[in-house]
């Protein structure tokens, strides 16, 4: 064992008043996919059940595990050990994803940071909640569930009591998940994420385990492979194995200096700390993913038409995910894994480009894509494919992937003026058709993504992306939409800004409306535009310089006149009675915080 590390660890253990200040819970759902199926069909509970994806059992219920059915077993092997195994196809992840989101939502009701990890795991940082509860606790707190090992002495920082309270919170959380959704779960409770996650399956299913900091090194030494440590990936594992460091115990014993010869200094220290159960990574509140993607892997595909079929199937599934998410995509990435038959190797390549928001429409609050829109997306996908593959030569693919990698935000609050304007989304849609992804070499923004970042439904957006608009275009759009270049990036402002139509654009909209049979082009909730002649009237107003006698000088009349009557009246009333709403003359981002969606902030004078 590295004495230096252990020494410093044990000396700080006694010296520092609050050495283990955090309280972390890790919750993992028992046999997740299988439980979703058993909740859906309770008769499955009493029989051994396997969830099948292609030729693999991705998970099984605990009944099947008694027979030796393991995760990722081949179907043939699983049926050998358990001939009665009932198989349910689990390739459609929709219901699993929905259940996962519901569990996340339940955990959020404690108002603590919750970090979602994959489909069935969540970290919850209950530090503040525990501090609150401590205030009203006078005596003896007992632990709920199992303990890895009873402590030999009390830790002066008081973490034992805090972790005991955390174990009670974990029980409450698991109980609520069970009561509301019917899932049994396991929990691990510790002073950091590493130990909470690793101790979680110590007693399973449907149970929980708490570990105290002093037992971190002992517990870690029981792990057979360094790969069991969550943040140690395959490359680090390989590098460690090449130095004959195979078990976590080996890692504890190797000196820091030896590790530093093979890893950066920071990495070496991190590895040593991990080996003794020390980890200070924070629980990061999970937001919405920065990209939504799907991949399909297969043995080999070498024909373009088959690639197209696979992309079409992926696109259908991806559109379901995007609809659930609700945001409007503005960028699409295509990923291929190419097999080099000569070298017996494979590598990933990605290309992406912008897609026009006009492909997506909002019908009754739901994001939809018409058949024409889907065809347009397929055209874009195949153009990107053509950029990635030299079709004059044979190709061999083992994976195709699709991901939407950037989104406009939809603001859906009732008070959101942006939301109100979105009822007229068809206006933007018509205008945005011009901005469609054009894959001709001169006008298309392409990027070759880094291969490592082409993961499915990745939560990070590490790729080097093309700038959303070319500089010249940005300037033009910023001008047209009355926002500065920097503000163009703000999706909500772009939407409102889209109403700043010049008379030519309005003519175009009007023409398109008159010619279009698409019912979606008829605005629903915009009183001034309930019929087409009203639109023409608006155009007339614009052509004549507007009818906004009451407008302050900084207001753009074209913008004002493009607004529905109701909104114009609302603005006029506000300008007449400024005390009712402060005009944000400075920054629209910072002023008028109490009314973040007030219309007035969109009428900021140009500097």
Per CB under 6 A, residues contacting ligand DCP are 28-33, 58-59, 71-72, 119-120, 204-205
Bin 601: left if φ > 0, else alpha if -120 < ψ < 50, else beta. alpha
DSSP 406: E
Q: At which residue do the structure tokens 């009818």 appear? A: 547
| Separation in Å, CA 13 to CA 3, 9, 307, 483, 505 | 15, 6, 59, 55, 69
| Residue 205, contacted partner among Mg ion, ligand DCP, none, CB below 5-8 A by kind | ligand DCP
Give helix 304-325 / helix 94-108 axis angle, nearest 10°. Answer: 30
**120 lies in the binding site for Mg ion (CB under 5 A):** yes
- Chosen from ligand DCP, Mg ion, none, partner binding at 122 (C-beta under 5 to 8 Å by type): none
User: Closest approach of Cβ 177 to Mg ion, in Å?
Assistant: 12
Residue 33: name its binding partner from Mg ion, ligand DCP, none (Cβ under 5 to 8 Å by kind).
ligand DCP
Shortest CB 522 distance to ligand DCP, Å: 44
CB of 458 to ligand DCP, least distance (A): 16
Q: Which two tokens stand for residue 249?
A: 């115990």
User: Closer CB to ligand DCP, residue 44 or residue 599?
Assistant: 44
- Which DSSP helix (H) or strand (E) runs through 305? helix 304-325
Instruction: Give the CA distances from residue 247 to residues 4, 222, 236, 258, 385, in Å, rounded to whole numbers and listed in that order.
Output: 20, 9, 13, 16, 44
Pick from 2, 63, 115, 121 the residue near Mg ion by CB under 5 A: 121
Residue 119 binds which one of Mg ion, ligand DCP, none, with CB within 5 to 8 A depending on kind? ligand DCP
For residue 234, what is the enclosing H or E element?
helix 234-242
- Which residue, 29 or 163, has its beta carbon nearer to ligand DCP? 29
Minimum CB distance to ligand DCP, residue 201 (Å): 6
Number of H helices, E strands in the chain: 23, 17
540/506 Cα distance (integer angstroms): 10
Among the listed ranges 116-124, 274-282, 420-428, 536-544, the one in contact with Mg ion (CB under 5 A) is 116-124
- 197: burial class by Cβ within 10 Å (0-12, 13-18, 19+)? buried
Q: At its nearest, how many Å lie between Mg ion and the CB of residue 130? A: 24
Q: Which residues of 209-247 are buried (b: 16+ CB within 10 A; e: fewer)?
A: bbbbbbbbbebbbebeebbebeebeeebbebbeeeebeb
121 is catalytic: yes
Q: Establish if 125 lies at the interface with Mg ion (CB under 5 A).
A: no
Q: How far apart are CA 516 and CA 99, in angstroms?
A: 41
Q: How far is the CB of 29 from ligand DCP (least distance, A)?
A: 5
Indicate which of ligand DCP, Mg ion, none lies near residue 489 (CB less than 5 to 8 Å, by partner kind): none
**Residue nearest to ligand DCP according to CB distances in the complex:** 59
Smallest gap from Cβ 350 to ligand DCP, in A, equals: 23
Contact by Cβ (8 Å): 2, 220: no
Tell me whether residue 99 or residue 431 sits nearer to Mg ion (CB atom).
99
Phi–psi pair at 556, nearest 5 degrees:
-80, 120
Q: Pick what 59 binds: Mg ion, ligand DCP, none; C-beta below 5 to 8 Å, kind-dependent.
A: ligand DCP
- Span 24-53, contacts to Mg ion by CB under 5 A: 28-29, 32
The answer to whether the CB of 97 falls within 8 A of the CB of 119 is yes
**Comparison of 13 and 104: residue with beta carbon closer to ligand DCP:** 104
Whose Cβ is closer to ligand DCP: residue 31's or residue 488's?
A: 31
Options 37, 63, 115, 121, the catalytic residue: 121
Rg (CA), the chain: 29
CB 193 within 8 Å of CB 123: yes
# chain residues binding Mg ion, by CB under 5 A: 5
Q: Which is nearer to ligand DCP, 87 or 239 (CB)?
A: 87
Pick the closer one to ligand DCP by CB: 73 or 369.
73
Select from ligand DCP, Mg ion, none the partner in contact with residue 468, using the beta carbon and a kind-dependent cut-off of 5 to 8 Å.
Answer: none
Closest distance to ligand DCP from the beta carbon of 596 (Å): 39
Q: Which is nearer to Mg ion, 289 or 491 (CB)?
A: 289
Catalytic residues, by residue number, are 121
Binding region for Mg ion (CB under 5 A): 28-29, 32, 120-121
């Amino acid at each position: 064992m590295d004495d230096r590390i252990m020494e410093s660890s044990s000396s700080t253990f006694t010296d520092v008043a609050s050495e283990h200040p955090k309280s972390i819970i890790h919750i993992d759902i028992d046999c997740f996919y299988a439980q979703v199926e058993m909740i859906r069909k309770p008769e499955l509970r009493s029989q051994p059940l396997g969830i099948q994806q292609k030729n693999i059992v991705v998970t099984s219920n605990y009944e099947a595990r008694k027979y030796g059915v393991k995760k990722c077993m081949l179907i043939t092997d699983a049926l050998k050990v358990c001939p009665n195994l009932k198989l349910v196809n689990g390739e459609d992840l929709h219901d699993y994803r929905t259940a996962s989101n519901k569990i996340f939502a339940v955990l959020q009701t404690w108002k603590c940071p919750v970090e979602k990890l994959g489909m069935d795991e969540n970290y919850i940082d209950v530090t503040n909640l525990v501090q609150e509860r401590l205030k009203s606790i006078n005596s003896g707190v007992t632990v709920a569930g199992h303990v890895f090992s009873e402590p030999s002495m009390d830790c002066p920082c008081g973490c034992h009591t805090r972790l005991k309270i955390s174990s009670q919170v974990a029980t409450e959380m698991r109980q609520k998940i069970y009561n509301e959704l019917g899932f049994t779960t396991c929990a691990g409770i510790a002073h950091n994420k590493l130990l909470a996650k690793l101790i979680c399956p110590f007693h399973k299913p449907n149970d929980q385990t708490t570990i105290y900091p002093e037992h971190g090194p002992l517990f870690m030494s029981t792990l057979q492979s360094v790969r069991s440590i969550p943040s140690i990936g395959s490359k680090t594992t390989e590098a460690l194995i090449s130095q004959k460091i195979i078990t976590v115990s080996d890692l504890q014993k190797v000196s820091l200096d030896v590790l530093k010869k093979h890893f950066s200094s920071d990495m070496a220290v991190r590895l040593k700390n991990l080996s003794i159960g020390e980890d200070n990574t924070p629980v990061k509140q999970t937001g919405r993913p920065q990209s939504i993607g799907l991949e399909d892997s297969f043995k080999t595909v070498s024909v373009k038409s088959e690639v197209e079929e696979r992309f079409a199937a992926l696109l259908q599934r991806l559109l379901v995910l995007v609809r659930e998410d609700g945001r409007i995509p503005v960028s699409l990435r295509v990923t291929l894994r190419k097999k080099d038959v000569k070298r017996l190797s494979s590598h990933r390549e990605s290309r992406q480009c912008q897609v026009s928001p006009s492909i997506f429409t909002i019908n009754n609050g739901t994001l939809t894509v018409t058949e024409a829109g889907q065809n347009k997306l397929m055209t874009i996908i195949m153009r990107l494919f053509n950029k990635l593959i030299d079709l004059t030569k044979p190709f061999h693919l083992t994976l195709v992937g699709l991901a939407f990698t950037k989104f406009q935000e939809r603001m859906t609050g009732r008070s959101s003026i942006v939301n109100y304007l979105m009822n007229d989304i068809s206006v933007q849609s018509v205008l945005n058709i011009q901005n469609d992804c054009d894959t001709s070499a001169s006008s298309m923004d392409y990027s070759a993504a880094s291969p490592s970042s082409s993961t499915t439904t990745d939560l990070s957006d590490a790729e080097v992306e093309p700038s959303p608009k070319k500089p010249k275009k940005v300037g033009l759009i910023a001008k047209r939409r009355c926002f500065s270049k920097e503000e163009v990036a703000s999706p909500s402002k772009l939407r409102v800004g889209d109403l700043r139509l010049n008379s030519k654009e309005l003519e175009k909209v009007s023409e398109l409306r008159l010619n279009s049979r698409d019912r979606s082009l008829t605005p629903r909730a915009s009183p001034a535009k309930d019929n087409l002649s009203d639109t023409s009237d608006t155009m007339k107003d614009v052509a004549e310089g507007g009818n906004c006698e009451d407008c302050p000088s900084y207001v753009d009349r074209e913008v004002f006149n493009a607004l529905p009557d109701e909104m114009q009246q609302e603005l006029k009333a506000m300008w007449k009675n400024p005390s009712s709403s402060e005009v944000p003359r400075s920054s629209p981002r910072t002023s008028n915080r109490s009314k973040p969606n007030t219309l007035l902030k969109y009428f900021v004078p140009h500097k």
